[in-house]
Amino acid sequence: MQDEINEHFTQSFKDYLTSTKLLKEMAQNNYAFESKHEVTKYCKVPLLLIESAYKKEYVSLKPKDIITISWGIKDGKAIIENLKIAQKNGTIQTLPQWYTVKMKSWALNNTNQLLD
């Protein structure tokens, strides 16, 4: 039984390096995740609202509002692909007006990240 398992999972070192390289390339090109944040203070953030034909509008946020940021990779750099804001009066799905670095800095200063 053990010989059958070893025979099935044995690969050459070259195959191992090739598969590891391929896995790293795929992870860099297809990396995506979501992070949830709870707003900790009253603030405004400029957004491109889909409902208003991508016009720049400031959205007022209150403590306890939940922001979900969808992150992805483009040209080897992390980008924000989508932003969802859950407030008491509904949910807004939008694109951020700010660049990724500024949005990340804003999130660090004005929100607490929620761990699911």
- What per-residue confidence (pLDDT) applies to 50? 64
Nearby residues of 19 by Cβ (< 8 Å), 6 or more positions away: 11
Is 108 within 8 Å of 39 (Cβ atoms)?
A: no
56 by DSSP, 3-state: which?
strand
Which residues of the chain register pLDDT less than 70?
A: 1-11, 28-31, 49-54
- What per-residue confidence (pLDDT) applies to 59? 85
Task: List the domain boundaries for the chain.
Answer: 31-114
pTM greater than 0.85 (yes/no): no
- What per-residue confidence (pLDDT) applies to 37? 93
